[in-house]
Amino acid sequence: MGLYRKLYADFEALFLGYATLAIILTSCLGGAAAMVILMNGHDPVQMVQLFLVVAVCMWYNTTILATMKPKFVFNSLLVSLSVCSVLFVINGLQLL
């Protein structure tokens, strides 16, 4: 929990700057995850994964635009990055 608290304290101190950079990061990672998912086909499984990627990226962007509390925004960022990263790796390994 020490790393989480340290990252959150830094995020909270420079909220607007980090939130802006995180929007770019989640959009790029989400786009890459969507590309890799669609490279594996267009089956219902891939469509559910694509929906999940789009939903978590939009959720994070919504928390910023709705000016929610920094802790909620930070937790949404972690969820978005985690989901996109996991789906990117899983689908990237299937391409090999």
* Residue 41 backbone zone (phi > 0: left; psi -120 to 50: alpha; other: beta): left
- Cβ neighbour number for residue 92 with a 10 Å cutoff: 15
For residue range 36-78, list pLDDT tens digits in order: 999 999 999 999 999 999 999 999 999 999 999 999 999 999 9
Question: What is the average pLDDT across 14-29?
Answer: 95
Task: Give the span between the Cα atoms of 14 and 38, in whole angstroms.
Answer: 36
Task: Give the span between the Cα atoms of 58 and 94, in whole angstroms.
Answer: 26
For residue range 30-44, list pLDDT tens digits in order: 999 999 999 999 999
Supply the pLDDT for residue 8.
96
Asked whether the predicted pLDDT for residue 1 surpasses 90, the reply is: no
Question: Measuring CA to CA, which residue among 70, 1, 85 is closest to residue 37?
Answer: 85
- What confidence category does residue 96 fall into, taking pLDDT thresholds of 50, 70 and 90? confident
